Chain A
Amino acid sequence: MKTVAVLGGGNGAHAAAADLTLKGFAVNMFSLFPQELTPIRQQGGIRLEDDAGERLVPIHRTCEALADAIAGLESILVAVPALAHSAYAKACSPYLQDGQTVILNPGSTGGALAFRKSLKDNGVKIGIPVCETNTLTYICRLTGPAKVKITVRTKTQFACLPGKETGKHFKAFEEMFPGAKQRESVLQTSLTNFNAVMHAPGMILNAGWIEFTKGNFSYYCEGTTPAVAKVIDQIDKERIALCQKVNCSTERFLEFFYKAGSTSERAFKSGSVYMGLQESEPNRFIRAPENLKYRYLTEDVPYGIVPMAYLGKMLGVSTPTINALIDLASLINETNYWETGWTPEKMGIQGMGPKELLDYVENG
């Protein structure tokens, strides 16, 4: 039985630990917030609810020390919000060994670049490959202590930094997550961060509604009106222009959304992002957040559209709508996301031109 490490203690980590266990892996869990794993220990596993019903999935180990959790393991899956990546990079740094691979599930936009830069800044001298997915491998939610519901097992895109090693690491990833798709470089996974495209506009264009009603409306169905959908479509176009600049093939948001099973064929064929969100069965009842300090903004702006905007500046692609959303997001939350997000410095790509950037993501 192959052992893998799952780092984190939220929705994604619970789902991955339970799901990988079901798939025959032995899972070592670790969280920087140990209390997140206490209920698993007490219960002797994670209660998983999915298509097949609800059952208790025993977890191989919940570790108190990170060193124990990852020692000797080939794959280290980091399933935490992007905000926590640098803390996990720092925590891992003293213990990482040759032959180990970090997989960010998901990487958001620029995750692998920033993680690798963090490792370097924390004194890691060896070249640890850092892989990332473009989105979490599940649509899932914690429904109680040590209890997780998986609605969908997402088919994600996968790439490694350096890109030339993607093939080598993809095999191990595919064993864990069948149906995944291999991409050439982390620029491609990072630029297909559809969460950022889908989440950020609604937060900014419904900020007053969210604050006044404490989120008392359905985020996608009611909050994505025709005009809000136009803005989603526009930032998707800016994202696609970025992709084209680095020869990265991509699909439109709506096509991705349809293929992921998130909307109807009719909506897909209409070409209307508005209809796509209106007819999104999995998202129909998702409520808006109670306030503006929510990951749709606090994650998807600084670790989603902010690195996209910086990549645009480096690649000579203008992103006026993305920039406008970042400016306003920064104001409403009184946080300068241009600074707190993943800047070129934090991604270790500062000062690079398009050619150097492509060379770096390929060769490291």
Chain B
Amino acid sequence: MTAKPSIAVLGGGNGAFITAADLSLRGHRVSICEVPEFQRNIDGILKSKSIELQIVGNPGVKGGLAKLDTVTTDPKEALADAEVVLLVLPAFGQKRFAEACVPYLHDGQIVVLTPGNFGGAIEFANIMAKKGKGQKVKVAEMECMIYSGFKSEPTVAWVSGYKKGLRVAAYPGSDTVEVMTKLLNVYPDLRPAKNVLETGLRNINTVVHAPIVIHNAGWIEKSKGEFLFYWDGCTPGVGHTAEAVDRERICLGKRFGLTLDSMLDVSIEWYGHEGAKGNNLQEVLSTNPVYVKDYAPPTLQHRFLLEDIPYGMVPMESLGKVIGVPTPVTSAIVTLACELTQIDLRSKARDLKALGMGQLSLEELKNVVDFGPN
């Protein structure tokens, strides 16, 4: 692998645009690929093959006009020359992309889900095993998206946050060192996690999105999201609920032998270089400069519930049941989210059962994530 590995970015939303632009500006060859049914997401850059990356605050990323090698809806084209494949999209799109690109992956490539959410890398590997041709491809996931920012226009994205110390794990965990060695040529500030249970349980979105939405449901619906999600919406009372979810998450990790940092510590590790500070989770969220332009979602039918409940909180709930750790607060939030959205989010969840791991004991589960099935 070259010093600046070539990159395929799969996705066409906020994260995909920022990722493609930043990596191009840092000297990588970059292709970006959206699935045909969402071609409208990349229509704006199909001809120009360029994205303007604007900087908000002090993320330590350089902005500018980023040129892309390839802008396409054909995964074969996007993957042809890529050494590193990054899936940068909400968890509910991962399966679709996995199925679209598995046939065109080739030996030696590494696939990284940024982020995995709970079980993302496992799901991808399962699809490879079922539909692939035995290619030697390593699959890994990040615990969260490395950037914070938004696509503001069809050709423009802005970035306000760049996380340092973000954890990465391969599935199985025994591949992590090899994957990390290559990935550090793309993102030098990454750190390894023990396995995908650790990355799956270290996603801050799972801990904070749904509690803030639930406790501001009326405000979101009435104002169509006309308030700052963290700065205004994460009040002390709301913070108590988020901290309670955080404690349940840490207890879950403990049963798997994982020492999970609190989300207060995680936030400061990631964003301390941008000025994040506080004595509790609520303080750091409601003052973090990274979130200066983070408005609340315009509706409750939004990934803050539709993604973070079925790909974060329901898996936590199901893990808790398997290993005997109570998660009453997580369950309360899931129950209310189902009522608020009028969707049975539990039945749509990517929990252990959906990952084909519903029958495993605690020890078997640990073994699978560390060393793979069989």
Bound-complex Cα distance A205 to B238 (A): 10
A/B pair count, beta carbons within 8 Å? 107
Query: Which of A208, A227, A321, A333 sits near B235, CB closer than 8 Å?
Result: A208
Q: Can you spell out 6 A-B residue pairs with CB atoms less than 8 angstroms apart?
A: A208-B215, A209-B219, A228-B221, A328-B241, A331-B240, A332-B240
CB-based contact A208/B339 at 8 Å: no
Which residue on chain A has the smallest CB distance to residue B340? A227
Q: Number of residues in A with C-beta < 8 Å to the partner?
A: 32
Q: What secondary structure prevails in chain B residues at the interface with A? A: helix
CB-based contact A212/B217 at 8 Å: no
Query: Which of B232, B238, B331, B340 sits near A230, CB closer than 8 Å?
Result: B340
Cβ of A79 to closest chain B Cβ, rounded Å:
30
Bound-complex Cα distance A226 to B237 (A): 23
Residues of chain A within 8 A (CB-CB) of B218 are 202, 205-206, 209, 222-225, 227-228
| B126 adjacent to chain A (CB < 8 Å) | no
CB-based contact B234/A208 at 8 Å: yes
Bound-complex Cα distance A205 to B329 (A): 15
Listed in ascending order, the chain A residues whose CB lies under 8 Å from chain B are: 202, 204-209, 211-212, 217, 222-228, 230-231, 234, 292, 320-321, 323-325, 327-328, 331-334
Bound-complex Cα distance A321 to B332 (A): 8
CB-based contact A211/B221 at 8 Å: no
Which residue on chain A has the smallest CB distance to residue B211? A328
CB-based contact A332/B238 at 8 Å: yes
Q: Number of residues in B with C-beta < 8 Å to the partner?
A: 32
Listed in ascending order, the chain B residues whose CB lies under 8 Å from chain A are: 212, 214-219, 221-222, 227, 232-238, 240-241, 244, 300, 328-329, 331-333, 335-336, 339-342
Q: Which 4 A-B pairs have the closest CB atoms?
A: A332-B237, A211-B235, A225-B221, A324-B332
Cβ of B23 to closest chain A Cβ, rounded Å:
36
Query: Which of A208, A223, A328 sits near B336, CB closer than 8 Å?
Result: A328
Bound-complex Cα distance A206 to B300 (A): 13
CB-based contact B221/A292 at 8 Å: no
Which residue on chain A has the smallest CB distance to residue B216? A208
Given contacts A227-B221, A231-B339, A334-B240, contact A207 B332 (CB under 8 A): no
Cβ of B226 to closest chain A Cβ, rounded Å:
11
Residues of chain B within 8 A (CB-CB) of A224 are 218
Query: Which of B217, B232, B341 sits near A205, CB closer than 8 Å?
Result: B217
Cβ of B271 to closest chain A Cβ, rounded Å:
21
CB-based contact A207/B216 at 8 Å: yes
Bound-complex Cα distance A323 to B227 (A): 29
Query: Which of B217, B244, B341 sits near A228, CB closer than 8 Å?
Result: B217
Cβ of B228 to closest chain A Cβ, rounded Å:
9
CB-based contact A328/B221 at 8 Å: no
Residues of chain B within 8 A (CB-CB) of A206 are 215-219
Residues of chain A within 8 A (CB-CB) of B240 are 331-332, 334
Bound-complex Cα distance A202 to B240 (A): 18
CB-based contact B215/A204 at 8 Å: yes
Query: Which of A211, A225, A230 sits near B339, CB closer than 8 Å?
Result: A230
Query: Which of B221, B328, B339 sits near A234, CB closer than 8 Å?
Result: B339
Given contacts A208-B219, A208-B235, contact A327 B339 (CB under 8 A): no
Which residue on chain B has the smallest CB distance to residue A293? B237
Bound-complex Cα distance A222 to B232 (A): 18
CB-based contact A332/B241 at 8 Å: yes
Bound-complex Cα distance A52 to B218 (A): 38
Which residue on chain B has the smallest CB distance to residue A205? B217
Residues of chain A within 8 A (CB-CB) of B336 are 205, 231, 321, 324-325, 328
CB-based contact A211/B237 at 8 Å: yes
Residues of chain B within 8 A (CB-CB) of A205 are 214-218, 336, 340
Which residue on chain A has the smallest CB distance to residue B337? A324
CB-based contact B236/A211 at 8 Å: yes
CB-based contact A212/B233 at 8 Å: yes
Bound-complex Cα distance A228 to B333 (A): 14
Bound-complex Cα distance A267 to B132 (A): 57
Bound-complex Cα distance A228 to B216 (A): 10
Bound-complex Cα distance A101 to B124 (A): 70
Cβ of A115 to closest chain B Cβ, rounded Å:
30
Bound-complex Cα distance A231 to B232 (A): 24
Which residue on chain A has the smallest CB distance to residue B218? A206
Bound-complex Cα distance A222 to B217 (A): 12
Residues of chain B within 8 A (CB-CB) of A327 are 328-329, 332
CB-based contact B222/A222 at 8 Å: yes
Bound-complex Cα distance A207 to B333 (A): 14
Cβ of A261 to closest chain B Cβ, rounded Å:
25
CB-based contact A227/B328 at 8 Å: no
Which residue on chain A has the smallest CB distance to residue B286? A212
6 additional A-B residue pairs with CB within 8 Å, beyond A206-B215, A227-B340, A331-B329? A205-B214, A207-B237, A208-B238, A209-B219, A320-B335, A332-B241
Given contacts A211-B236, A212-B227, contact A231 B340 (CB under 8 A): yes
Cβ of A205 to closest chain B Cβ, rounded Å:
4
Bound-complex Cα distance A224 to B222 (A): 9
Which residue on chain A has the smallest CB distance to residue B219? A209
CB-based contact B331/A332 at 8 Å: no
Cβ of B236 to closest chain A Cβ, rounded Å:
7
Cβ of A30 to closest chain B Cβ, rounded Å:
36
Bound-complex Cα distance A324 to B211 (A): 12
CB-based contact B215/A321 at 8 Å: no
The interface centre, meaning the residue of A207, A231, A334 with most chain B CB atoms within 10 A of its CB, is A207
Which residue on chain B has the smallest CB distance to residue A208? B216
The interface centre, meaning the residue of A209, A323, A334 with most chain B CB atoms within 10 A of its CB, is A209
Residues of chain A within 8 A (CB-CB) of B212 are 208
Residues of chain B within 8 A (CB-CB) of A209 are 216, 218-219, 233
Residues of chain B within 8 A (CB-CB) of A334 are 240
Cβ of A204 to closest chain B Cβ, rounded Å:
7
CB-based contact B215/A328 at 8 Å: yes
Residues of chain B within 8 A (CB-CB) of A225 are 217-218, 221-222
